[in-house]
A and B are shown apart, each in its own frame.
Chain A
Amino acid sequence: MPMNAPFPAVRIRDEFPVFRHHPDLIYLDNAATTHKPLAVLDAERDFYETANANVHRAAHRLGSAATDAFEGARHRIATHLNAAHADEVIFTRGTTEAINLAANSWGRANLRPGDVILASVLEHHANIVPWQLVAQQTGAVVRPIPLGADGNIDPAAFGALLTAEVRLVALTHCSNATGVLPPLQPMIAAAKAAGARVLIDGAQGIAHAGVDVRALGADFYAFSGHKVYGPTGVGVLWARRELLAHMPPWQGGGEMIDRVSFDGTTFAEPPFRFEAGTPPIAQAVGLAAALDWLDRHDRPALLAHETALRDRFEAGLQSLDGIRILGAGTARGPITALAFDRVHPYDVAQFLDGYGVAVRVGQHCAGPLHQWLGLNGSLRASFAAYNTGADVDAALAALATTLDMLA
């Protein structure tokens, strides 16, 4: 594919069967979940048709095929992330379970009374509450990383928080509510220099930015399959091998053990130590297919396409009164979050849904961020590969009509 060619969104759209069933759907709720291309649906179906068995234990040919498919998916995902080793990829149910794994395993083994966990005000509840729970159990405390007036983190203010007691920094790759992109590289470097571990919530980052975990320099990277064109029910916790080697199991069951007796049990090596029970096998295969599908496209062109849609939407909003774009003055991913002066976001979304425009309203599981914004809720439009300029124009027309009706 030639560089600088525009991203072929209209053709890409044909690869998503959901739009055959809903041809008029203007789907701008991609930050909640993305639709699935045929390549992903085919990979899952093909797994069930040709290789379905449980993994790592069946002494028969389908068992081997299933294990090969599952471990092959782990390798492909490791390659996509530029991980040093495939065993650094742990399959989970999603981002939330990945963060809970890190909090329960690493956190309970390493946090002591008086230790500090820093979590930014941008975080989704999934990157706050697991740390609060482990803090209650260990005597550690969770402190917020505040935002500057632009809605982003000021690296200098962050640096001032990095005392010797800080053991972990929990940070989003991209705010799910406003799309704000915190300055990851300087923050990770500063946290590492201060001796803290860093967990990046990549739920919103993975579909837009190419993720290179070695270049990023964090200790943990968590993401979900379903927000990156893959299946629901599968996600990944990536962590560096030397860290995983010293982390205890957090859920007990099959697969994660080495030898079990009532005198004591010894545990398997990573990643299996952290994958108790039958994993989401077909979903892992589907997730690898989703990342392969992404990697077949010109990623910079894709991000430029999504960003151009966001900018086109925001330019169109300028002609409408009573709307404020959240985080407008700072770096953002392809997400537009709106606050309204005179109408309630829920009412706007009710009309937009009638016109076939899907957006999300509410606090987006980011309560602290909305408290900081002084808002009860906001309206979020989020853009993906299959969205087009026509989607944006239709959404703007629907929004203008809606605001007239509610005026």
Chain B
Amino acid sequence: MNTYPSPFDHPFGTVLDRDALAERLTAAAGWEAKNRLLVQLARELPALPDAYRDDEHRVAGCESTAWLVIDRQAGRLLLAADSDSRIVKGLLALLLTAYHGRTPAELAGFDFEQWLVTLGLQRFLTASRGNGLRAMARMIHAAIAEFSH
């Protein structure tokens, strides 16, 4: 029996879906409001239980550290994430919103980077900042491809 708290007990992708997040981000006009919203989203994402904040789930970055947990249950993708940076954690909340609890079929054709562009967050995809976020989206898509086989 698993006595650890579930890392997947968070509202992103379940209570809060893509449409809800898109509405909030669109309402946040300008970089300052968007940054503040990312910080707010980070507050709404519970801390990843310590048991998962290990090297296995660590995604190395030069400027901040992130942790990403990918699992699968009943054909659905389960995701949890955290970061020591609140802006990165807010971006991870968007990543969870897009992928957590979805089936590979529901995600067919979904382009996370394009979604960030439509939300006005393209500056987080520039070469010097986007490596971590892009790498994590790629890891998720690799996991989806593996599930599908």
Interface residues of A, Cβ cutoff 8 Å to B? 343-347, 349-351, 354, 361-363, 376-377, 405-406
- Flag if B85 contacts A346 (CB, 8 Å): yes
B39 A406 Cβ-Cβ under 8 A: yes
- Which of A345, A347, A354 contacts B31, CB < 8 Å? A354
Q: How far is the CA of A152 from the CA of B91 in the complex (A)?
A: 38
Name the prevailing secondary structure of the B interface residues.
Answer: helix
Q: How far is the CA of A321 from the CA of B35 in the complex (A)?
A: 21
In the bound complex, what is the Cα–Cα distance between A350 and B62 (angstroms)? Answer: 14
Contacts of A351 in B (CB 8 A): 32, 35
Q: CB distance A344 to B35 under 8 Å?
A: no
Q: Does B36 contact A (CB under 8 A)?
A: yes
How many angstroms between the C-alpha atoms of A343 and B85 in the bound complex?
8
Contacts of A354 in B (CB 8 A): 31-32, 35
A347, B39: Cβ atoms under 8 Å?
yes
CB contacts (< 8 Å) of A361 on chain B: these are 63
Residues of B near A405 (CB, < 8 A) are: 32, 35-36, 39
Shortest CB distance A27–B (Å): 16
The 9 sampled A-B contact pairs (Cβ below 8 Å) are A343-B86, A344-B86, A346-B87, A346-B88, A347-B85, A350-B87, A354-B31, A362-B62, A376-B65
Instruction: Specify which chain A residues have a CB less than 8 angstroms from the CB of B111 in the assembled complex.
Output: none
A173 to chain B, nearest CB (A): 24
Q: Assign chain B's interface to a size class.
A: 10 to 19
> Which residues of B are in contact with A by a Cβ distance under 8 Å?
31-32, 35-36, 39, 62-65, 84-88
| Residues of A contacting B31 in the complex (Cβ-Cβ under 8 angstroms) | 354
State the CA gap A351–B85 with chains docked (Å).
12
In the bound assembly, the distance between CA atoms of A354 and B31 in angstroms comes to 7
Establish whether residues A344 and B39, one from each chain, have CB atoms under 8 Å apart when the complex forms: no
**A-B contact sample (10 more), CB < 8 A, given A346-B88, A350-B87, A376-B65:** A344-B84, A345-B63, A346-B63, A346-B64, A347-B39, A347-B86, A350-B35, A354-B31, A354-B35, A405-B32
How far apart sit A349 and B86, CA to CA, in the bound complex (Å)? Answer: 12
- In the bound complex, what is the Cα–Cα distance between A361 and B65 (angstroms)? 13
Give every chain B residue within 8 A of A346 (Cβ-Cβ).
63-64, 85, 87-88
A343 to B36, CA, bound (A): 14
Q: Which residues of A contact B63 (CB under 8 A)?
A: 345-346, 349, 361-362, 377
Inter-chain contacts of B62 with A (CB < 8 A): 362-363
Contacts of B39 in A (CB 8 A): 347, 405-406
CA distance A349 to B64 in the complex (A): 12
Across the interface, which residues of B come within 8 angstroms of A350, CB to CB? 35, 87
Residues of A contacting B35 with CB < 8 Å? Answer: 350-351, 354, 405
Minimum CB distance partner of A343 in chain B: B86
The 4 closest A-B pairs by CB, nearest first: A344-B85, A346-B85, A362-B63, A346-B64
A377 touches B64 (CB 8 A): yes
| Chain A min CB distance to B93 (Å) | 14
Nearest B residue to A401 via CB reads B32
- A322 CB → nearest B CB, Å: 15
Considering the complex, give the chain A residue whose CB is closest to the CB of B84: A344
Q: Which residue of B lies closest to A365 (CB)?
A: B62
In whole angstroms, how far apart are the Cα atoms of A344 and B87 in the complex?
9
Whether the Cβ atoms of A344 and B64 lie closer than 8 Å is yes
Q: In the complex, what residues of B have CB within 8 A of residue A406's CB?
A: 39, 86
Q: Quote the shortest CB–CB distance from B94 to chain A (angstroms).
A: 15
Which of the listed residues A350, A377, A406 has the most CB atoms from chain B within 10 Å of its own CB?
Answer: A350
**In the bound complex, CA of A347 to CA of B87 (Å):** 6
Contacts of B32 in A (CB 8 A): 351, 354, 405
